[in-house]
Chain A
């Protein structure tokens, strides 16, 4: 177990040396998750208690990121925010991925042939067309408004607007996989359609969905922040990046940039981290790209080895 673990660690190190951006991505994501978990230990002040005596203090040692217009510590709030933002984004993305992929797999499987199911599949695709023709943002706001403003409804709205992406992704995969011989074999062996789909087709089609997940968490964070920015998402004073940016909006124009700029920066960096992680999953899941990565690692090791020998021989730098 232990040697296996250290070997794993070593190969992670190798990958990180060849593709430093992946390391940065995982670093950012882990740091964001840690901030969410350890917020009470990291934050010096309460995220929702205002100290009216100290409003709009510029950043200094007492208030690393300054204080906002009502005297709340911006740093503490920025550190607490991923608790809400990540919860919403991850929950919303997972729900949309599960619902979208299941429907997508069924629609893809029944997209050719005859019968009622084919018509149903066709209907589902046209419904997805209609949903995707909506302006995403207005649609999300309307959903939140109609269901009542709360964290759960923001999650639902995000799940709803993202589900068609997974539906299409899964459908296109399944359509090509269902022609494979092993699917035929499974049906000939007497497995039902459902068992064939979920035992043999879905595991082979899931790759692109997984790569999409991480990127989508980033989008979901952006959407959550956008909803809160217009006042249709998380309500102040709950610490959330988008509503913090909105609260500091008026101050930016008059020159107090810190209540808005710091939460926005934290938001951008964590979205960036999630998209880098998404990129790495894409590379690991795609055989062609994985080969490119392995080749680069090989070259790097050779160059390293050559340098080591040179140093031993006393001719190196």
Chain B
């Protein structure tokens, strides 16, 4: 009951926040110089054609009116049309967002595995070799530009070793992808039993997932390490040790208490990566939502940018909401 009340209150806050996000991004994107009508029609367009297109796009109205029109369309599920792909933005995004989500989710899972295991191993023995490696890794991982690491991995594993396919998209051009069901290529391959496509898709996923995993393991590692250390030094852990409880149990209880902060950093990374994986997407020609938005900004294509900002904001708001629910189940004290 407590939980439901809490979720209800959170959802109440989400609506004005989303409105604010749409407003700010609308004003920001509108202020990017470049007339969409001119760009859409090309350099040979007549002034009359431009004027009539401007009229039909609603560009002649004042900004508040344009914003109101956009909101009205938004309420009907119309996110506008991209002049680059000449398709509705909603369709484009529904096709591209799963690509980004698949990449980011797998990358983050890799980061969680690396970060938590290294963090736990180094929290036990602060002066061991593993702890030194973990310390260095925690500091170093955050210093690497992800797009550069991606290039280095491509050079080693594609150019030199030829272990992975060329960094061009999500699947080999020669392989026929399965019909989209969920949009996640790997899941679709599994559902349709298309093993050849699955192998190709996994091969293409390997390097970008490794890039994101290696870099984002840093913050998770640091958080696990510092929280575990603090808890293992706390009175209740000392007491458990004094009572003769097995080491494994002490660690398990400590880990349970460390989970909320580790989950927090993971959720923050998840929300951040939806837009933050853009550079990796570009390096691997991933064709994801982030790349779509960046192309939009660089070419004064207004609606894809707005659509992407909206999608990713909603996504991160729901990730945070979900995390709050996880807190409830991990630590009943938070409910009070």
Residues of A that sit less than 8 Å from B by CB: 21, 126-127, 129-131, 133-139, 141-143, 145-146, 148, 218, 222, 225-226, 229-232, 242, 245, 249, 252-255, 257, 260-261, 264, 267-269, 271-272, 275-276, 279
Contacts and interface: CB of A to CB of B under 8 A. Distances in A.
A139 B24 CA distance: 10
A226 B145 contact: yes
Contacts of B151: 245, 249, 252, 260-261, 264
Contacts of A148: 33
A127 B23 CA distance: 11
Interface in B195-219: none
14 contacts: A130-B24, A133-B313, A134-B24, A146-B32, A226-B147, A232-B294, A252-B151, A252-B154, A253-B155, A255-B159, A264-B148, A267-B145, A268-B145, A269-B143
Highest count of chain A CB atoms <10 Å: which of B31, B143, B154, B313:
B143
Interface string B108-150: 0000000000000000000000000000000110111101100
Given A133-B21, A245-B151, A275-B139, 8 more contacts: A134-B313, A137-B290, A145-B32, A226-B145, A229-B279, A230-B278, A253-B159, A269-B143
Contacts, number: 147
Contacts of A126: 16-17, 20
Interface of B: 16-17, 20-21, 24-25, 28-29, 31-33, 139-140, 142-145, 147-148, 151-152, 154-155, 158-160, 166-167, 272, 274-276, 278-279, 282-283, 290, 293-294, 297-298, 300, 305, 308-309, 312-313, 316-317
A196 B269 CA distance: 38
Given A130-B20, A133-B313, A252-B155, A232 B297 contact: yes
Contacts of B313: 133-134
A57 B293 CA distance: 36
Contacts of A138: 275, 278, 290, 293-294, 297, 305, 308-309, 312
A135 B17 contact: no
B20 A135 contact: no
B20 A268 contact: no
Given A138-B294, A142-B25, A143-B28, A225 B145 contact: yes
Given A134-B21, A135-B308, A230 B294 contact: yes
Contacts of A254: 159
A257 to B, nearest CB: 5
